[in-house]
Structures are given as C-alpha cells and as structure tokens.
Amino acid sequence: MASMTMIEAIREAHDVAMAADDRVVVFGEDVGFFGGVFRCTAGLQAKYGKSRCFDTPINESGIVGTAIGMAAYGLKPVIEIQFADYVYPAYDQIVSEAARLRHRSNADFTCPIVIRMPTGGGIFGGQTHSQSPEALFTHVSGLKVVVPSNPRDAKGLLLASIEDPDPVIFLEPKRLYNGPFDGYHDRPVTSWKKHPKGEVPEGNEIAPLGKASITREGSDVTVLAYGTMVYVAEAAAEAAGIDAEVIDLRTLLPLDLDTITASVEKTGRCVIVHEATRTSGFGAELMSLVQESCFYHLEAPMIRVTGWDTPYPHAQEWEYFPGPARVGEALKKVMEG
C-alpha cells in the first residue's frame, strides 16, 4: 500500500496501464509536457515518449473524434477533457459515434476509449468550471459512467475502465483531488495522506465496474450518493444523529441496483444526494428505480437533495452546493414520514 492523493492515484493508474499494454495512449489539452492542468498525467510523456502521451489543440470534438478512430484501429486511448464543462463540442462524437460503434458495426468494431473529466464544484470555479453533466451520459445507451470518491477507487476504477471494451465516461470530482470534503467549507481540509482511503494498493488491482460500496452502515434510512456527496452525506448523518446507511454508487452505469434495493428494503426510507441540477438529474432515475423495486418496503416518500436549477453561481457557491445542513434536514424529514 502507498499513501496517495486522488491525483497521484489517477496518474499511477495511467502508468500501470501504459506499462502493461503498448496500445494505451494518453492525450488531451496540456496533458503531455505540462502533465495536465491538475497534473494527473505528469511525467508520463517523459517516461513513455511523445507518441504515447501527447498534447492536442484546444478542440474537444477533435480529441474525441481522433480517439474513436484510434480505438477502431485497435488502440486504447485514455483522453482528458480539461473540465467537464468543456465536453459539449464533443457530445455528438460521444453519442453518435463512440456509443453506437459496437451496435452499428454488429460488433465488428468496438470503442475502448476512456474520457476523463474533472467534474463538480466547491472550488469557486463559477458556471464554466463547476458543472456536473453525468445525467447527459447516463441517458445514452452504449456508455458506461464512473464517478470515484477516493484515491483507491480512482485507481482501481480507472484501470477497469481502460480494460473495458466499450467507451467509459470517467468523472473525477475535482474537490476531492487532494482530500475528502464533507461540505464544511469553513473548516480545515484533511489530506488523503492522513485518510484511510488514501491507502492505494500497488500494481494492477482493479475495482469492478457496477459495484457500489456501503461506506456507512445503518438501519434508519438509505442515502444514495456519489463523488463528493458521499462525504457530505456521512457528515450530515453524523451531525443529525441519524443511523443512516450511506451507499457510494461509484458507477452510475452499470448501476448496482442489488445493493441499493437490499439497503432500502432494510431501512424503508431513502434520500438521494447529488451536486448536479435537480430537474432530470440522475437522482430522478434513482428515485424511479427505487420506487419500482422497493414500493412495498418504503415507509415514507423519498427525498432528493441536489444543486438548484440555475447555472453554478460563483458568488453563492455554498448556497448552491448541497451541504450537510440541507442533507441533514432531508434526513430528519424522511424520518418523520
């Protein structure tokens, strides 16, 4: 085991995959010589050369389109979109080409690409550096969507994504890059170096896609969360004094519905937390699935705690961000139902 930040764990996953398979190539804006805006690819170009880790023009459509062509020819591109907010020019390539390639070719071709993107807020990035677009991708057949919440999972899930034969959207909560964040923005930040989930196994240890993790066991209410919201939910449950079971979904597609239903059947209550805007967010899909699977076990209406239906506001960052106070209120309300 080695103690790592999420940035270091992501870099380690690249290194392990590139050392094991010459077909793995890494590229994007500033990812080569500069090592990426968050340094997730630092040192890879020096180690593996400019043909396997290289910089691209500022052209997201071109980055993804090139990766699709390379994948069709047998390579395994791992590309970085500098911020999730910048992916929209490439959306057509992702939806119409990458996600459909296996189906439209009758499996003669696959598209083993990983599209890495820093996501979410909590860093005063404003409306163009704080978005959480996961629901735009969970709606698309043919894609897998991954959101790690800690360094160990970041490495293991990225390695699994690189090995997957189909396109994977890999969303990295940038507020978690250097340490866990429970939503208390006025308190000191803890480094991953001092957190048990900062301990990362060496080598090629894969975390399977489609398997959720119960991060806090409880019997009163089930909380479904992913990314930064996992730590917010844990902090809210602790502060509210409620015996909540917190589930870190880890992958949104494929979704571990078995773990979710087993927990809701036990607790009889469910709160769903995500940072993205409320309307048509992934929480709505989760509510529908829980309702369909656990209707006769529910003791109270489910509650969503989300970002607001507005652009991410710079000046009102913490009013938008679903913090422990809002989650705690939802926990108390669902217990009264």
pLDDT tens digit string along 5-36?
Answer: 999 999 999 999 999 999 999 999 999 999 99
255 vs 124: which has the higher pLDDT: 255
Choosing from 14, 129, 139, 274, the catalytic residue is 129
What does 57-76 look like in DSSP terms, one character per residue?
Answer: -S-HHHHHHHHHHHHHTT-E
Dump pLDDT digits (tens) for 34-50: 999 999 999 999 999 99
Task: For residues 320-336, give the mean pLDDT.
Answer: 97
Rounded to the nearest integer, the mean pLDDT of the chain is 97
**Band of residue 249 on the pLDDT scale cut at 50, 70, 90:** very high
129 flagged as catalytic: yes
Give me the mean pLDDT over the 290-295 stretch: 97
Is a pLDDT exceeding 80 seen at residue 54?
yes
Model confidence band, residue 337 (pLDDT cutoffs 50, 70, 90): confident
Whether the predicted pLDDT of 189 surpasses 90: no
* Residue 120: per-residue pLDDT: 97
Q: Cα separation of 306 and 209, whole Å?
A: 24
Residue 42: Cβ within 10 Å count: 17
The C-alpha atoms of residue 180 and residue 151 are separated, in whole angstroms, by 10
What confidence tier does 132 reach under pLDDT thresholds 50, 70, 90? very high
Go through 238-248 and write b for each residue having 16 or more CB atoms within 10 A of its CB, e for each that does not: eebebebbbbb
pLDDT at residue 246 in the model? 98
Give the pairing of strands 251-253 and 144-146: antiparallel
Query: Distance from first CA to last CA of the chain, Å, rounded?
Result: 45
Residue 190: CB partners within 8 Å, gap ≥ 6?
A: 179, 180
Asked whether residue 142 carries a pLDDT value surpassing 90, the answer given is yes
Backbone angles phi, psi at 107, to 5 degrees: 70, 15
What does the alpha-carbon distance between residue 239 and residue 328 come to, in Å, rounded to a whole number?
Answer: 7
d(Cα 172, Cα 8) in Å, to the nearest integer? 13
The rounded distance, in Å, linking the Cα atoms of 286 and 297 is 16
pLDDT at 1: 86
What's the pLDDT at 224?
98
Least confident of 58-62, 169-173, 187-191, 288-292: 187-191
Q: What is the CA radius of gyration of the chain?
A: 19
Q: Are strands 303-307 and 270-277 parallel, antiparallel or unpaired?
A: parallel
pLDDT at 197 over 90: yes
